[in-house]
Amino acid sequence: MATIAKKRVAIIGAGISGLVSLKECLAEGFDAEVLESRAEIGGQWAYQAGPDEKGELQSSMYDGVVLNSCRDTTAFSDFPIDPARHGDYFSHREMHRYILDYADHFGLHKHISLRTKVLDCTQDAEGKWIVKFQEDGSKPQEREYDVLISATGINSIPIIPDFKDRESFRGEFLHSHYYRKPGRFEGKRVVLIGSGSAAIDLACELAPGCKEVHVITRRGTWVIPRYALGKPVEAWDSRASQVWLPSSVAEWLNTTLLNFVQGKHPKELQPDHKLMQQNPTIRTEFIEKVRHGVIKVHRGSVENFLETGLKLTNGETLGADVIITCTGYKRERPYLPGNVLSNADTPEFEADLYKLVIPARHDNLYFVGYIEQAGPSPPTMEAQARFAVGVIAGNITIPKGEKLLKEIRAWQAWHAKTYVRSERHVNTETYVPYIDSLLAPLGANPTFGRLLGQVFTSGRALQSLSVLSAVYFDVTSSAQWRLLGRGKNEDLARETVLRVSSGKLESSTREKQLLGL
């Protein structure tokens, strides 16, 4: 049996979740490598203008994508984003460059095998994983690993519903996954099915040049702007509000702020569920375009396609030259056993994952990046990786067997009452409380009491008081999760937290020194 320090770990995917997993594995001394099917790292953020030479299109990024989370919350916890180089919200190309810089900074490239597609993963009687893979089209090979980390994200395999009479439609039909630029749709009537982030984004991008743009929504949705009262909207959702306020109070405050900033939602868009029961869709100008009639919203579902459009369950008939279905992505992993995420006993719209990381029925297997939430992805994926590596290394103890499944079922019951019951929300969690729950076993959750204690014990009373205030009442900088506990980088974390709180538009000299820049 391999020793802990020599655990051999296979990480599938070199997107954000795979890279943070690799970085944490190497920090723990594991023999880890990433297997990536594409020719470059970055996952979804590695933009593809079209299908590759194999006819595959793995990235869902369209050309005009801008981040939905702001710079100061999106950064990795120990690799801050310099505001001198990036605005509050920036493009997918800038995000990809930042990911490449992260990999360079931590020396990750030499541990990554590109153009290496994982075909199948099976577990032997001893619990080891046999990974079958193919390097750049060569003959398939097999390799044995002690641990397997699945880090292939949730936006690669589009869901295309079997719409009635779809084949009768004479126009163009596509999934939003394959959309890239608005130019070829100019002057056309476009119907978007769905009201998630893709549908709202595409509606805004297409509206200026299209003859008509229609959005079909079954249950309505909450759409929020990027800015509220001159600040990134995330600045109003501090750690204090997320961990101290009762959910009913937080719900009322957030809804009141939203209505004050942009007015009440148009009735055809107003959902029956509450604001915090869904993953919010972020797009500043969408509500304005709906009010102006530039984008038309229809409440209902698709009954059937027609030769020249489609018919809705509310009785409306829409003419269309192009129909784009924005219906999300499949959650399964084709290279893993079929019952990994669920079986016949799993409640609908749920996954049998402890902390959304550890499957109930397979040992030595971890999921990183299986998450969608009202918050930035990189810090959450990073926390998942730290939790997974903590378990692998024996630094975190988790329940086993029936106790593990019991805790999963309890979480699922809470989840079912907390969020909209839909495919989109299968893997939805809170932001700060969820990350805290992952990192608490490592002592890395910055509780008020522990930060207050540093005011009296650190020898830096005034600075520690400023850090406490910044962590709890300002923007939720991810650096806060490197202040304490295992894996801490306290000096850099303090500098970053205080700089973000101050609003300075350049990384501090001390930050640059600590990063070796």
284 pLDDT higher than 70: yes
273 pLDDT higher than 50: yes
pLDDT at residue number 2: 47
pLDDT at residue number 372: 86
Give whole-number Cα distances, 181 to 15, 95, 119, 325, 391, in Å.
Answer: 23, 19, 32, 16, 43
Residue predicted with more confidence, 338 or 299: 299
Pick from 412, 410, 384: nearest CA to 396 = 384
Q: What percent of the chain has pLDDT over 70?
A: 99
1 pLDDT higher than 50: no
Taking each helix axis from N to C end, the angle separating 448-457 and 461-473, rounded to the nearest 10 degrees, works out to 170
Most confident of 276-285, 326-335, 433-442: 433-442
Q: What is the pLDDT of residues 317-354, one digit of tens each?
A: 999 999 999 999 988 899 999 889 988 899 888 889 99
Segment 475-480 shows an average pLDDT of 98
pLDDT at residue number 510: 97
Q: What is the pLDDT of residues 8-21, one digit of tens each?
A: 999 999 999 999 99
Would the CATH topology of 4-156+330-442 be identical to that of 166-325? yes
pLDDT at residue number 3: 47
Segment 159-172 shows an average pLDDT of 97
By three-state DSSP, how is residue 365 classified? strand
Give the mean pLDDT of the chain.
95
Residue 247 to residue 227: CA distance in whole angstroms: 22
pLDDT at residue number 52: 83
Residue 490 to residue 451: CA distance in whole angstroms: 12
**Residue 4 pLDDT level (bands cut at 50, 70, 90):** very low
Give whole-number Cα distances, 96 to 15, 40, 502, in Å.
Answer: 10, 11, 27
Contact 153, 59 (CB under 8 A): no
Domain boundaries, the chain: 4-156+330-442, 166-325, 448-515
CATH topology of domain 166-325: FAD/NAD(P)-binding domain (3.50.50)
Residue 449 to residue 470: CA distance in whole angstroms: 14
Q: What is the pLDDT of residues 32-75, one digit of tens each?
A: 999 999 999 999 999 999 988 878 899 999 999 999 999 999 99
Q: What is the pLDDT of residues 416-430, one digit of tens each?
A: 999 998 877 888 999
Signed CA dihedral, 230, 231, 232, 238: sign only: negative
364 pLDDT higher than 90: yes
Contact 347, 416 (CB under 8 A): yes
pLDDT at residue number 374: 81
| 154, 271, 414, 246 alpha-carbon torsion, rounded to 10° | 120
What pTM does this model have? 0.96
Residue 384 to residue 370: CA distance in whole angstroms: 9
Contact 310, 302 (CB under 8 A): yes
Residue 452 to residue 235: CA distance in whole angstroms: 22
CATH H superfamily, domain 4-156+330-442: FAD/NAD(P)-binding domain (3.50.50.60)
Give whole-number Cα distances, 337 to 9, 34, 362, 408, in Å.
Answer: 18, 20, 9, 19
Of 151-155, 169-173, 299-303, minimum mean pLDDT range: 151-155
Query: For residue 399, what are its two tokens?
Result: 């329940």
443 pLDDT higher than 50: yes
pLDDT at residue number 237: 94
508 pLDDT higher than 60: yes
